[in-house]
Copies of this chain bind each other. A is one copy, B any other.
Amino acid sequence: MRILVLNPNTTESVTALMIEASQSVAAAGTELVPMTAKRGLPYISTRAEAQIGGAIVLEMIAEAHRSVDAVVIAAYGDPGLLGARELFDIPVIGISEAAMLTACMLGQRFALVALSTAFNGWYRDCVEMHGLTGRCAGIYGLDQSFTSIADVQDENLEALVALAKGAIEAQDADSIIFAGAPLAGLARKVRERIPAPIIDPIAAAVKQAEALIALAPRKAPLGSFKRPAAKTSVGLPASLSAYIAQLEDRRGA
């Protein structure tokens, strides 16, 4: 089975980091297919950037969906997730969604730990979008801004471990999610230093993609995620425009 690891940002090194962090948990027959956005931003850190990145996600899936069995949207905050799920026939999973649903099986309440408090608003919206606010023990970010995402993981390792430990102690959190693509792989490194299970979102998402591929759910012909009707558009990227134009309303099929 082939899983598209779709990075809606333009930073190739982060894509590579995520492939590396999830390769070891992937099943024998799983091939991870990396895809990095050719246009967009180096990394998404606000609602506005997620709005832009989410539209780019749709273009990218329109281009690649025929050659893979499932898509993982590999940016925390799940840009474009609900739209992609509606539009395409193969499973689409967001890494924050996968992380939170996995956390739900490891305790009642999870905490998010991120590189900066700058992400808090967007991440809070994301938890709310998934209806999981009641299971979230808090969102914690380092008190910093940063302009490069290279090496952020190692440079901030001690501070992130301290933040995670504090969340567990202060909020009685049952698990920790390291939220943010540049943190991929960190969970493994600090596993023994944090007194609760830690979820690496990209690793969780690859496993959820494998699960959905095996379960082979049909595309909904009814319900709120039914395949949309075809539409003519103007000025959209070619692959996306073509995909939308050929959608048939197979609702009655």
Interface residues, chain A, with chain B CB atoms under 8 Å away = 10, 25, 27-29, 38-42, 45-52, 54-55, 57-58, 80, 82-87, 91, 93, 97-98, 101-102, 104-109, 117-118, 120-122, 124-125, 128-135, 145, 147, 168-169, 172-175, 191-192, 195-200, 203-204, 207-208, 210-212, 214-215, 217-226, 228-229, 231-236, 240, 244, 249, 251
Contacts and interface: CB of A to CB of B under 8 A. Distances in A.
Total identical chains = 6
B130 A104 contact: yes
Contacts of A249: 145
A125 B102 contact: no
Nearest to A133: B134
Given A10-B233, A27-B28, A47-B83, 20 more contacts: A38-B235, A39-B233, A41-B231, A42-B233, A47-B82, A51-B55, A52-B58, A54-B55, A104-B131, A105-B208, A105-B212, A107-B225, A124-B224, A168-B223, A173-B223, A192-B218, A195-B220, A197-B220, A210-B210, A211-B211
A3 to B, nearest CB: 13
B29 A224 contact: no
A104 B105 contact: no
Contacts of A223: 107, 121, 168, 172-175, 195-196
